[in-house]
Every structure is written in C-alpha cells, then in structure tokens.
Structure 1
Amino acid sequence: MKRLSIFLCIILFHSFSYAQEFTSKYASGDEELDQVRSEIQVLPTDRSNYASRAILMKLWAVSLQQQGVHIFPKYASIDTRLRAISKWNPMFHGGDAQAYTDKDIAGIGEVLKEGYQVLENYQHALVDDPQAVLFPSGNQHEDPVKPSNYSNIDWAQYRGNLGRTGYTGAKGPTKGATKWRFPVGLAWEAAPVVKEGVVYLTSPGIRNFLWQVDLKTGQPLKVFKQTPSLKGDQLYSSPAMASTPIIDGDHVILREMGSRGNRGESKDIAFLNLKTEKIDKQIEAGHVDYRAGYAPVQANEKVVVFPYGIHDIEEKPPVCQPFNRIVVKDKKTGKKKWDFNIGPTFSSPVLDDSLIFATNQFGNLYALKTYQWFRPASSDRIAWEFQAGAGINKAVAVNDRKVIFGSNDGFVYCLDKRSGQLIWKKSFGQNHQQAFRYFTTPYLNGGKVFIGSADKQMLILDIQNGETLFKAQANDWMRATPIADNRNAYFSSMDGHIYQVNLHKNKFKINWEKRFGEHFIYADLALADGHLLFNDSDLYTFCISEKGKKEWQFSTLKSFTDEEGFRIFMDQLAGGAYYQSKPTIAEGKLFIGTPSRFIYALDAETGEQQWKTEIGAAISGSPVYDNGKIYVGQQGGEDEFYCLDAEDGKILWTQKVGWVWGSCAVSDGLVFLPGVDGFVNCMDAESGHIVWRHRTERSTCSEPLVVGDEVFFGSWDHYLYKFDKATGKLKWKYQVNGGLDSGSPVAGEGKVFLPVGGGTFRAIDPKDHKILWTPKLEAKMFNVTPACHDGVVYISTLNGQGLGGVPVGAEIFAVDAKNGQLLWTFEGGGGLNGAIIGSNDRVYFGSTVNPYFFCVDPKGNGDGTTNLLWRVRMENKTEESVPALYNGKAYVLNSGGFLHCIE
C-alpha cells in the first residue's frame, strides 16, 4: 500500500510538472484539455473518462486545424482506428446506442493515448517549427498574372450558372489579400442573466453549455459541461443549448436545439443542478432544428411552457413545421398538462402565472388559461383573444394591468390584461415589409414603455395613454429589448451601437452612443448594479459601465486569441454547420443569406450595405438572381419562399412550399426548387404560382441542375430524378446508392458529374444515366459539388470522420472529363467546399480543414501536383458556402462569421 502511494505521488508530480510546461509554452488554450494531456500517458483510460477524453482530442484536432496545422495524414490513422471501434451514430439508422465491451474500452484507450501523442507533436511543432506543420506542405509560388481590366460577368446562380460548373468567364483575384469583410453572425437570442453578482451565459458548444462569470471582472467562475456520446457525428448529434437561462432555485433551466430530428438527442428541456453540476432531469419538448436559431422556454414554480412544431427532416416522409402550438408540462413530473394550436408563432410565450400570452404570424394574441383542464381543442382554453393589423413576431410585455406589444402593422398596442380590451394604440410607421419583426419586445418600467423598431426608432411612451415622451433615430434596425433603471435607459441597434438615454426628471436626452464589437445584436439587454450586459451574434458577451466604457468582453464559445489576433475555438458549435449560404452577384450587387434570417445586398466593390430583408429562419442556399429579382428560401421557420426586388429588397411575392435548404434554379421564367419536405417544385418566376411538383421519399437538399429542356433533382431517398422542366413529366429515376446531400450534379462535356453523399462519384450520360466512368480515388467522401471547365473536372473530397462535419483531411482532385484519369492533387483544399474557376487560368477554393482560401494553377506540373500561387488566411474553416467570382474578386462566407472579399 505504501509503495502504491509513493507510485501515485510520483505520477502526480510528473503530471504537475508536465502541466506546468503546457501552461508556459505549449498550452492548448483549454485548461481542461491541458490537464488531460498531463494525465493520459500515466493514468489509464476507462469507462469513467473515455468519452470526455475522446471529445477533447477531437476538439484539440479541430483547434489545430483552425490555426492552419496540417494534421493529415498522421492523425488520419488515429481517426481510422477509432472509427473501427466506434460506429457512426447507430441510432440515426434506427438501431440502439452502441454498447462497448471491456475490450472496446481498452482499444479506445490505446487509440486515445497514441492520438494525444500525435497531437502533442503537432502542438509542439506549432510553437517550435510552425512552417513544418502549417498548410501548405509545398512551396508557395508568386502569381505571375497582374491585375487587368475586368468584365462584370454576373454570378447570378449557385456556382455561377445553370450547369453548376463554377465557371462563368469571370476573372478571379490575383493579389491574394482581403479587401473587405462583412459581419455575418448567428441568430443568437439567448440573453445574459445576473443573480447575486454572477452572470449566467448560455453556450451552444459541443462540450460546454453554460458559464458562470463574475459580474465585476468578467472572469469565468465555472463552466458546465456535457459529454457527447462517442459516435461519429458529434457535430450534428450533440444538442446546442439555445435559450436564455432560467434561474430556478438550485437549478438552471435551458432548452436544446440541433440536428437529427426526434430520433436524435436534441429535443429536451434540461434542468442543471448547480450543486451537483449535473443535468438531473430532462423534459421532452420536441426537436428544434438548429436553423430556427432559438429554442424558447418559460417556467414558473409549477409548469414549463414552450412553443412546439414538428421539426423532423429525418423522417420518411419529412415533417417540417413552424412552431404552431403552445405546450404546458408539469415541471416536477414532466407530464403534459395541455397542448393548444395557435398557428405559426415566432415569439416566446409569456407566462404570467394564471395566463399565458402567445402570438402568431397573423396578428393574433391569445391569453390562454394556464391551470384549468379543458378538452384538447376546446376554445374554453382561451381567456380572450385580440386581432392586430399584422403579425406579432416578438413577445408581449405584461405588468399587473396591461399587455403591451408591437405589431408588423407599425402600431404599438396596449390592452387590458384581464379582458383583452384595447386601451390605446399608436402608429409609429408604415408596415415595414422587409422586417419580419417590426418592433422589439417592449420593456416596462416606472410608468413608461421602452421599445425600438425596424424604422430605427427609439421610443419611450407613457404607459397610460401611449403619448410619445421621447423619440430618437438609431443607426440601424432594433431587435434587442431595451432596458432601464430609474436613471437611464439603454437601447441597442442591430449594428452593435448602444445608446444611453438620460431619464432624469423626464428631460430625456441621449448621454452617449458607442459601438461595441463588429457583429450584430439580436439578444435582449440586461442591467445589473449599474452594469449593462449584452450578447452579440458572434457569441461574445460585453459588459459596459454606466459611462459607456467597456469593462470586459467574454467569448461564450470557449476560445483564445492567437498571436495573429485570430480567435481560436476550443469548442465547436453543436447542431450542425451554420454558415452555408452561397453568395451571388449581379449588376454590381452581392447577395448573401445569413444564419440570422437576413438576406443582404452589398456593393460588390466596397462591401457597403445596400439593403436587407428579414425572413423567418436561416438561409442556407444562394439568393438567386434573375431578371431583376432575387429568389430565396429558408429552413427552420415559416413555410414561405420569397421573391424580392433586387433593387431594394422589397417582397414581390411569396409561396408556401415549406423549408428550403438548397438553392433554386431559374430558367425560362420557371423557378425550380428542392424542398426539405421531399417535394421538388416548379413555380412561375413572375407570380410564384406552382406549375408542377413531385414528391420524393425523403428530403431534397441538393441544388437542381437544368440542362436544356430538362431538370435534374437529387434526393436523400438515394435517387436522381430527371424531369421535363416545362411539364414535370418524370423521364427517369436512377438509384445512386447513397443520399444526394451537399453535392449537386454538374453538367459539362455532354455528361452529368454526380457526387453522392458517401464514397461514390460518377460521370453519367444524361440521356439514360449510363455510367461513363468513375474516378480511381479510394476511401474518399464525395459530398461536394464539383467544378468543370475546359475538359477538366475538379472534385473535392473529405477524408476521415474527424468531428463529424469537420473531417481530418480534404483534397482537390483535377481529373480528365473524358475518362476520369487523375491529373493532379492538391492536399488541404476543399472538404465541404468546392472549387471555382477564373478565366485567368486560376482555380480557387476554401477548406473545411483549415482557415485558408487558396489559389492554384489549373494546369498542374505534369507529375500529379500543381502549384499553390497564394493563400489568404481567414478566421476559420469554410463550410458549404461555395465562393463566387466577380470583377476580379472572390467572395466567400467563412464560418468565422465574416463574408470576405478577396482581391
């Protein structure tokens, strides 16, 4: 026993010494990881720690990739061995959770020990000899092409044209430098909550989901963690906490969102026990798709209340609804008390003890009786209802006697809380058609109503009669609920400006106005002990003093800043890939969708915003341009597909076709649209009327391909469909032995080049789907749209499983379009990001495994390689957002939260 104690002391001593070295020179940026690094070589991996050690290893690998470290191929063998033991989410395929034997655990322990050592070597090399491990592994060559006159060839469709080839004749950039960048953040609406000097901050991380931070210093006091199951798709299967924390005695209540539908893990309201630091209870609330952006929940001492709608793209057939019901469950037992349909709702319900106030997209406000029992659809549930002139898409505010809210008709309403009778209403603008949410939720304090609008108005109203006490113009639309104490009120505009309004003796004036951070603000403001707190859409929390000084800034997604000033994430966004929209450009304007529900039009030369239009959920596809119009859909919210005026963003028409992930195609006055619900659609481009539609068996996500008089659609049901584009007549249906997902078919050289979401790539004859060739590329994943020009096909692949959506390696292959023979390989480019081609003999692409944008020579060197001409470092990896070319520049949406213009 004594010898064992001495042995343990020696181990602990060496572990402590090792950890000290990490702290000084080779620290990863994550103290938990560094602790495991010090332990794993001496303390065995067992059932108590294998899952947390595995996820930390994967997160470490991704953080090294974000810093530009090329972990392939050495880490690939670790990934392969781990995949041999731990399968890709068996529950996703209808099976049971994988049970590991003792032999499995021992095998996992061996792989982790070696994997940590491999990453250890990379971490040391990053400090001691970075050029040995950073991309690219070869030499970078000077681009001999000099800037010249460019023709403004439009990049109007996804990948530039109806053939999806990635080539329009536009020249690409030659300098290899970022000219400008535009902030594109998340729809982050979780607000800070303060109790007894502690700030509670929700985090949507795979590993970390809630922070306690000191109000005065901004120093983290505690972080609460989840341990994802050791299966291959942690990025998608891990739940993201996505609601404002509710402090409930010794518990914090949070609601999850994510991927994988109701068969997955992201479907609960979680009760975190602050004493045990564990989630000790979960109440099922239904899956919330991560592209909805927010997962509302309310609670009191008796019940939890939440909006509900079926978000299940994994079902057969898929079911994709907006939130349309209010559900109440017993907080202790989790048993459902009632469920009531109110129609599409885009605001959080407000729980006011005996009544619940809920609104919908059509302008209805319902006061619902909380505790009485009624038949499920009984109108007796409704205490009263009120009809506003347009949608009410932000929550109401309630005090003892009144209910106050803004509507999209431009009016602010005040109702009697008990009867629902109108007390007053005031107009503050026209119906702002481009704002899905016209007003903020009001804030009530001291007999005043504080509210902001999409007309950039900051308003203070008398609560008794609606009289305007103060009105001022902000720099941008307003989304966050204002807040006030007895001395000052605080407003925020979306562009990050904060305004302090002096309330002393009702002599209202703006004391100061300052901008904090680079990203937009959607989450409500918080005020505690004279400190103003807010969260921005880049997952930063700011604390501002009463005098307008920034006191601290904190990243809610765990990170550190490297020597070059880049933010390196030590955790990853749970749920899926968020930055997916692809830019399009026409007539000098660039159009891009965001995870935060906006379509932006920017000046392509300067990046200056021309207009923005807000819709009901995240935009994943390209806003497609045709004949002066923009066509765009959304996923995670409403059913509408939009046609906008490209000049000013005004809505020309909408059509209810459900959720849309992929970009549409517009040809000969027809709009071809893939639907998440499994339908493929053809609409009239001028009116939006449906010309024809066809149901597939599963979601259709990949973009349609138009070739002459025919249109091709791919589906998750493993089929490629060919239709007559005018009539919708099905010409053939081809089983491809895999789901067509992020990769779309491409037309060129008389062939269709077809990537399948797995290990298959084919060149087929579009007449009869006869296979013409397959490339001789082994153990690759082809889930990316290829590019094609001048007899060459550029194929992007993912290598290894990695963190699910972040593979271990990626490559771009140039193959002969005639026979699929390999011409050259470029390692480190592509992944989920495909190539595009400039007419100046340049090929451009981002990468899912590093933060670079690459420019390479398409000709190759004749020996299976090609030259890297230059690269540009961005903030993070690039996901499905394929770049666009216009006027000698490349435009790419990066998952670091910025749209880059590269010259």
Structure 2
Amino acid sequence: MDDVQDWLNHGGNLLNRRFADKETKISPGTASRLRLKWKFNAGRDISATPAIFDGTLCFPSWDGYIYAVKASNGGLLWKKNLQHLTGLNSTGAIFDFDPNITVSRSTPVIAHDMLVFGLGGPAYVVAVKRSNGRLVWLTQLDKHSKALITMSGIYYKGHFYVGTSSNEETVSIEQCCIFRGSFVKLNARTGKILWRTYMLPDNFGQRGEYAGAAIWGNCQERQNNRTDMPSTDECVEPENHSDSIIALDLDTGKIKWFNQLGGYDVWFFACNNVSNPKCPPGPNLGADFAAAPMMLTTYVDGIKRDLAVAVQKSGYAWALDRDNGKLMWSTEAGPGGLTGGGTWGAATDEKRVYTNIANSDRKNFTLQPSTKVTTAGGWVAMDSKSDRVLWSTADPSNGTANGPVTVANGVVIGGSTFRQGPIYAMNAMTGEILWSYKTGATIYGGASVSNGCIYLGHGYKVSVGLSDPGFTAGNSLFAFCVA
C-alpha cells in the first residue's frame, strides 16, 4: 500500500504542498473521465479538506460532528458529536455561527493511532482514537472568550504543533482587543503543553496595547532544526510578528528568524463604519497569511535553494530562503481584498506554485498571458524559480475562489463559491479547464486526492458566508474518481 496517497493534515504532509505526489491515475489525459462515485450526507456544510489514511476519510462538519467514512464507498465508520465528546459548550467565537453547536473547522491531523484537531471556540485541542473516535485527551490553549483554533496543525516525532486564533475583532470598539496569537508544542500522547511562543509583545491584559496576530497555519522543516540568524531590520519592531512568516526552534520555541512582509492590516468588524473616529484608517487589504508556507527546493538564479513559499491575502506570493528568511522572490498573483487574495492554502509540485485568488472585493483581475480582465476569482500558476506568473484562469461561473487549491500529477483542482458549487480540474501547465462538476452548493474548502479519486466537501452558509447572498449551504462530501 506504499503507493497509495495518504493525506495527513490540511497541507497533505509535513511539507504542506497540497500535492498528491503518488497520484498516477488522475492526469491531464484522464481528468475528463472523472465521475461521481459516491456522496456522503452530513448534517451541515463541510469546508475542511478531508484527511486520508489507510482507506479512511476523516473530516468535521459544521453540524458539530467529526466523521470517519470509508474512502472506497463513503460508508460511515463512526461519528462523534463534539459537544458530547468533550463536554465543552461552544463559546460562540466563530462569527455569526450558532453558539449552541461546538465545532471544528479544520482538517484533523493523523497522529499515529490518533486524530488531533482544534475546536472553533473554546480554544481546545482534542485527540481521539482514529479507529473509533474515543476521546484520548483535550487541552485548552487559550482562555480568552473569543479564542479558537483555525488551523490544522502538524504531528512530528511524537509532538503536535499548533497555533491559536480568535474572533475578537467581532466585539465592539470599547471591548477590543487584548488577544495575542501564540504557537504551541504539545506532547501528542498526553496533550501536555511543552512550550508556547507569543507573536506580539505582552499587553498585560490591557486594551490599547498590542493585540491580534492570530496563527492560521504551520509546516515542518524535517531535514534539520538549524537556521542562520539574519541581520535585523531597524524599521521592524523585534517583538511584533504580525503578518509575518516565522521560523521557530522545535526544541525551545525560540524565534530563529522572521520576515514581516507588510500590509497595513489593522481592522475589526466595528470599523466597517469608516466614519467612526475611534477607528484606524481603512478598511484595507487583508495582509494575513491564511495558510502556512510550503516547503520546496528549487534553483533561484542558478543556485539551489530550500524555500518557504506562501501567498498572502494581499494577493502577493513570497518565496523566502528557509535557512534565514531572506526574500528570494515575490510577485502579485492577483488582486487582494478584505478576505483575499490568496487564502486557505496554495500548492506546489516544485516546478510551479499554484494559488487561488478569491478576489473578494471584485477588482479588475488581469489574466495572464491573455491580458483579459475579469472581476471574478480564479487560479494562478507561477514559476517556482522566479517571480514569473505563467497563467491565470478565471472562474467561469463568475464566483469568488476562496478555497485552497490542490495539485496531482499535472492537474490543479479548485472550487468556486458560486451558489451551484462547481469544482474544476485544470491543466497544471496551461490552466486549461479539463473537467468540471456542479456539486450544488458553495465550495469554500479544498480537495484531498488519493488513488484516482478527489474528495471534497461543499456548503458555506456559516460564519462570514452568512453575509454573502451568493454563498449557499450544503451537507455533502463527494468522491470523484477516474472511470
């Protein structure tokens, strides 16, 4: 079974490439033969990329359950209600979501014989037996009432690494803000916290000081735990790591280097009323990194480089030398926006870097190489060695493209938020759409791929999707396989 693809976390594996490197059945020549094999009905929207291990798919739904189903036929193996499993009531931290349902919104991580995942408020990490969903441990990472876990996490050598997030930006101007994002290492067997690193200076619980800097993703440099300390930039505050890519020591959590890549991203919901004198200027383009960097090795200017590459909500892609954080190249993949831009995850096969461009603000988006202009979202490919955009393809349904992309054997997979929920398979070399299917509801999540099949959920009439009249609700996970 070594030739069958497993999908261990949101990014697929430690390298976070969202790349099905073992896939052979799906290809540009066979993508047109993809057919619906089965559909599993959950109770509500599914936006997390399904994990895959040993013929089993594991995923949460916005109905408050986590599910395990057979990859071969969609048969239910087990399901667990998260409120009953943990004894934890929702804190209502997720914007505009039912406070009576305790949910997870991220891909569960395969951790040996366990699944490990975070809750969308309160900010607990939960470990269950992979075989039956029985609770093993749960650990609270942050006691803030609006804290939650957005990201999927990483399992490596008996430890689990994950960051904290929050929705404190939903409170009033008078109440906001004191939350500080942090990154945590836990013992995967016991859930014990081994170290914690904050992304901002201590605010001592006082409003008017540093707040924010939630963490949305992480990846693991497995080759070593050594990086070089770069020279400092005197224009950057040394303890402010907002809108940054950061390298931490695995053993201690000490920050080895960081690169703050810019964007004036000071915003919360109350300041959508731009006339309020208590608000900072804005709203501005989102400058969050809404997913972790990808690890790849390629040649830049003829020199072999180990890179960390990420795409920002601003629409910019950044490639850093992962030994020291120095910028190797950057490029504008497409227009940024309040919610993106690039969001929830890019992909790479090391030859090219692929990303979605949500285009949430419906700006003019110039497609390459045609120079045609669209106001829809779309998908973009860049040369991994340089800042060159190779192609960009608009969403034919004129929707936004908020979900992360996946690449498998020369095929890029992306979904649309359009109300009929189309999924597309594109030629990774040219961007040509090879196949599509209307799932019946908004696609906001990403696909995992294994053994000739694409697995993907639909529906996003929750959280920020409630305020978008074009987003629609769903309740299904789909398996599309090469016939």
Same fold (TM > 0.5):
yes
Q: Secondary structure at the match of 1:763?
A: strand
Is residue 389 of structure 2 the alignment partner of residue 762 of structure 1? Answer: no
Identify the residue that residue 69 of structure 1 maps to in structure 2: none
Residue ranges of structure 2 left out of the alignment (5+ in a row): 23-52, 57-70, 167-178, 201-212, 228-239, 264-286, 298-305, 360-376, 460-472
For residues 456 and 246 of structure 2, the distance between their equivalents in structure 1, rounded to whole angstroms, comes to: 31
Cα gap change, 1:177 to 1:663, in 2 (>3 Å): same
The one-character-per-residue Cα deviations of 1:280-320 (angstroms, maximum 9, x if unpaired) are xxxxxxxxxxxxxxxxxxxxxxxxxxxxxxxxxxxxxxxxx
Q: Distance in 1 between matches of 2:199 and 2:226?
A: 12
Counterpart CA distance in 2 for 1:744 and 1:792 is 16
Does residue 644 of structure 1 match 2:268? no
What pairs with 1:218-297 in structure 2 (closer than 5 Å)? none
Q: Report the Cα offset of residue 164 of structure 1.
A: 2.6
**TM-score between both structures, scaled by the size of structure 1:** 0.33
Question: What is the Cα deviation at residue 661 of structure 1?
Answer: 3.7
Are 2:137 and 1:611 equivalent residues in the alignment? Answer: yes
Question: What residue in structure 1 maps to residue 25 of structure 2?
Answer: none
* One of 145, 148, 155 as aligned partner of 1:625: 155
Residue 521 of structure 1 and its aligned partner are, at CA, apart by: 4.7
Inter-partner Cα distance in structure 2 for 1:836 and 1:164: 12
Report the counterpart of residue 219 of structure 2 in structure 1: 665
1:851 to 453, 475, 482: 475
Is contact 1:634-1:661 (8 Å) kept? yes
The answer to whether 1:710 aligns with 2:307 is: yes
CA contact (8 A) 2:148 2:165 kept: yes
Q: How far does residue 693 in structure 1 lie from its aligned partner after superposition?
A: 0.7
Residue of structure 1 in register with 2:248 after alignment: 683
Aligned counterparts of 2:456 and 2:189: Cα–Cα separation in 1: 29
What's the TM-score, normalizing by structure 2? 0.61
- 828-837 or 609-618, which deviates more: 828-837
Whether the aligned pair in 2 keeps the contact of 1:660 and 1:701 (CA below 8 Å) is: no
Corresponding residue for 1:833? 445
**Structure 1 residue corresponding to 2:347, chosen from 720, 731, 746:** 746
Alignment of 1:531-680 (within 5 A): 536-537=89-90, 573=98, 579-595=104-120, 596-616=122-142, 617-636=147-166, 637-658=179-200, 659-667=213-221, 668-669=223-224, 677-680=242-245
Q: Look up the match of 1:797.
A: 416
The answer on whether the counterparts of 2:442 and 2:474 sit within 8 Å (CA) in structure 1 is no
- Higher Rg of the two aligned structures: 1
Among 726, 744, 752, the residue aligned to 2:323: 726
Contact 2:18-2:346 within 8 A present in 1 as well: no
Closer/same/farther in 2, CA of residues 597 and 774 from structure 1, 3 Å limit: same
- 2:76 alignment counterpart: 178
**Counterparts in 2 of 1:812-891, with a 5 A limit?**
812-828=423-439, 831-839=443-451, 841-848=452-459, 849-857=473-481, 859=482
Q: Is the 8 A contact 1:654 1:688 kept in 2?
A: yes
Q: Percent identity?
A: 21
Residue type of the partner of 1:686?
D
- Say which of 761, 774, 783 aligns to 2:402: 783
Quote the Cα distance in structure 2 between the aligned partners of 1:600 and 1:676: 27
Number of the residue aligned with 2:11: 158
- Counterpart-to-counterpart distance in 2, 1:647 and 1:707: 30
Alignment deviations for residues 880-899 of structure 1 (CA, whole Å, 9 cap, x no partner): xxxxxxxxxxxxxxxxxxxx
TM superposition shift of 1:150 = 10
Confirm or deny: 8 A CA contact 2:162 2:185 kept in the other structure. yes
8 Å Cα contact 1:618-1:635 kept in structure 2: yes
Supply the distance in 2 between the matched residues of 1:706 and 1:830 (Cα, whole angstroms): 30
What do you get for the CA RMSD once the two structures are aligned? 3.1
Task: Give, in angstroms, the shift of residue 852 of structure 1.
Answer: 0.5
CA contact (8 A) 2:115 2:127 kept: yes
Q: Which moved more, 1:685-694 or 1:159-168?
A: 159-168
Higher relative contact order (CA 8 A, sep 6+): 2
Q: Residue 793 of structure 1 contacts residue 815 of structure 1 at CA under 8 Å; is this kept in 2? A: yes
Name the structure 2 match of 1:93.
Answer: none
Query: Quick one: distance in 1 between partners of 2:429 and 2:343?
Result: 24
Structure 1 residues 817 and 707 mapped into 2: Cα distance closer, same or farther (>3 Å)?
Answer: same
Q: How many Å separate the matches in 2 of 1:854 and 1:521? A: 30
Give the Cα–Cα distance (whole angstroms) in 2 for the partners of residues 792 and 644 of structure 1.
36
Contact 2:353 2:382 (8 Å CA) reproduced:
yes
Does the 8 Å contact 1:791/1:818 carry over to 2? yes
Q: CA deviation at 1:750?
A: 1.1
Is the contact made by 1:622 and 1:663 (CA closer than 8 Å) also made in structure 2? yes
Offset at 1:723? Answer: 0.6
Give the Cα–Cα distance (whole angstroms) in 2 for the partners of residues 741 and 611 of structure 1.
34
Quote how far apart the aligned CAs of 1:713 are.
2.4
1:602 is paired with a residue of what secondary structure? strand
Query: Within 5 A, what are the aligned runs for 1:483-562?
Result: 518=84, 520-522=86-88, 536-537=89-90
Contact 2:104 2:118 in 1 (8 A): no
| Paired AA for residue 11 in structure 2 | Y
Name the SS of the counterpart of 2:12 in structure 1.
helix
Amino acid aligned to 1:731: M
Describe the superposition over 1:150-190 as per-residue Cα deviations: whole angstroms up to 9, x where unpaired. 989571563335243253655451131221122335xxxxx
Mapped to 1, the partners of 2:241 and 2:256 lie a distance apart of 19
Secondary structure at the counterpart of residue 417 of structure 2: strand
Amino acid at match of 1:619: I
Q: More helix per residue: 1 or 2? A: 1
Aligned partners of 2:128 and 2:5: how far apart in 1? Answer: 15
Q: 1:755 to 1:150 in 2, by over 3 A?
A: closer
Distance 2:91 2:79 in 1: 14
The separation in 2 between residues aligned to 1:846 and 1:765, in whole angstroms, is 29
Alpha-carbon distance between aligned partners in 2 of 1:150 and 1:593, rounded to the nearest angstrom: 30
Kept in 2, the 8 Å contact 1:749–1:817? The answer is: no
Alignment of 1:322-337 (within 5 A): none
Report deviation, 1:748: 1.6
Q: State the Cα deviation string for residues 342-371 of structure 1 (Å, max 9, x = none).
A: xxxxxxxxxxxxxxxxxxxxxxxxxxxxxx
Q: 1:642 to 1:705 in 2, by over 3 A?
A: same
Unaligned runs of 5+ in 1: 1-147, 186-517, 523-535, 540-570, 800-807, 861-903
Q: Which deviations, in whole Å up to 9, do the C-alpha atoms of 1:779-811 show, x marking residues without a partner?
A: 132221111112211111111xxxxxxxx2321
In structure 1, the partner of 2:234 is: none
Instruction: Name segments (4+ residues, structure 1) moved above 6 Å.
Output: 148-152
1:679 partner letter: S
